[in-house]
Structures are given as C-alpha cells and as structure tokens.
Amino acid sequence: MKNLFKTINRKIDSTSRIGILGIGSEIRLDDAVGCYIIRELELQLKQKQFNTAGISAVEIWYGGTAPENVTGDIKRFNPSHLFMIDAADIGCPPGTIKIIPAEDICGVSFTTHMLPLSVIVDYLKTFLDTEFTIIGIQPKVLGFGTTLSDEVAQAGKEVVSQITSLITNQ
C-alpha cells in the first residue's frame, strides 16, 4: 500500500492542475466506491488548503455510470493530471487498491459504465496533454444495494485519506 501512495505522491508532486473523476453505480454495492471517494474528497478538500508546492487547482467530478457526461468539464479544466477512480476486477482480494496504467485498462473489467473506460481515456487524449492515472479497487460484491462491503469501504477511506494528505500536504 505504501508503494502505491508513493507512486501517487510522485504524480501529484509533478503536476499543477489535478482532476479527479469518480466512477461507478451507487445502487450496485461495491461498484459505488468511486462515487463514495468523490463525495468524501469534496468534503475533505473544501475544508483544507492545497499544497503550496506547485498545485494551483483541483477539480473533482462525479462520473457515476456515465463518466462521458463530464468530459466537456474535464476538457475545459484541462488538468495536467487526471485521476480516475473506480471499482475494477483486478483479480485480487476485495479492497485491494491498484494503479492501472491507462494503456492497460483494456484488460481490466470495469462493470457498469455506458462506455468502456478505455474509450473515454482515448477520447480525452485527443484533446488534452494530460497524464492519466486509474485507481482501481477490487470489489467484493456487485449485486443491487447501497452499502459498501467492509473491505471496500476501508479501501475507499484509505484512498480519501491519502489523496487528501498528498494534495493538502497535511
């Protein structure tokens, strides 16, 4: 886990405009983890100042099951780095957090999107000179409901805590 967040920290240290997109279905149990993280980050970052070491702006988007609907907002913001957070079947124990290189997302199952995540990344790449980081969290359950499993909820809290700390340098 520490290596994962060291990687995210290196990416944040080298950027000035950070975009964060949460993806998932809030009625499909663990698939909602990206949405959960976005809502928590909004609450956390409202109350804190950004790291003064080069970050000039942070923008957060709720993509839900149709992240393509916010691509216009992402293009207008023109982030130097875009983090995309979603539940992903990465073949690991539930709650495992993994950075998935943008070029590898075709081999990962993201379950509830209208468009495949690879299509959205390819589309944005035609308009933006942006570095993409996909943060995938292994779900435990994907049936209908609104509660995250304990493992995925804990992973979501960890992602919120680490990203908040890295962005605010606190």
Identify the band that residue 145 occupies on the pLDDT scale cut at 50, 70 and 90. Answer: confident
The CA distance from 23 to 63, in Å, is: 5
- Which of the two residues, 16 and 120, has the higher pLDDT score? 120
- Number of domains observed in the structure of the chain: 1
The whole-number pLDDT of residue 8 equals 67
Q: Is residue 136's pLDDT more than 80?
A: yes
Highest mean pLDDT among 2-16, 104-118, 123-137: 123-137
The CA distance from 58 to 16, in Å, is: 8
C-beta atoms surrounding 50 within 10 Å: 15
For residue 114, give both structure tokens. Answer: 């209208």
The whole-number pLDDT of residue 57 equals 83
Identify the band that residue 89 occupies on the pLDDT scale cut at 50, 70 and 90. Answer: confident
Give all strands (DSSP E) within the chain, no chain letters.
Answer: 17-23, 57-64, 81-87, 97-100, 131-137
**Cα four-point dihedral sign 76, 12, 83, 164:** negative
The whole-number pLDDT of residue 46 equals 76
Residue 100: give the domain boundaries. 2-168
Mean pLDDT of 52-74: 86
pLDDT digits (tens, 9 = 90+) for 27-52: 989 999 999 999 999 988 876 665 54
Which backbone phi and psi does 142 adopt, to 5 degrees?
A: -125, 15
Mean pLDDT over the full length of the chain: 84
- Which of the two residues, 99 and 61, has the higher pLDDT score? 61
Which backbone phi and psi does 91 adopt, to 5 degrees?
A: 70, 30
Please give the model's pTM, rounded to 2 decimal places. Answer: 0.86
CATH number reported for the structural domain that contains residue 70 in this entry:
3.40.50.1450
The CA distance from 41 to 57, in Å, is: 14
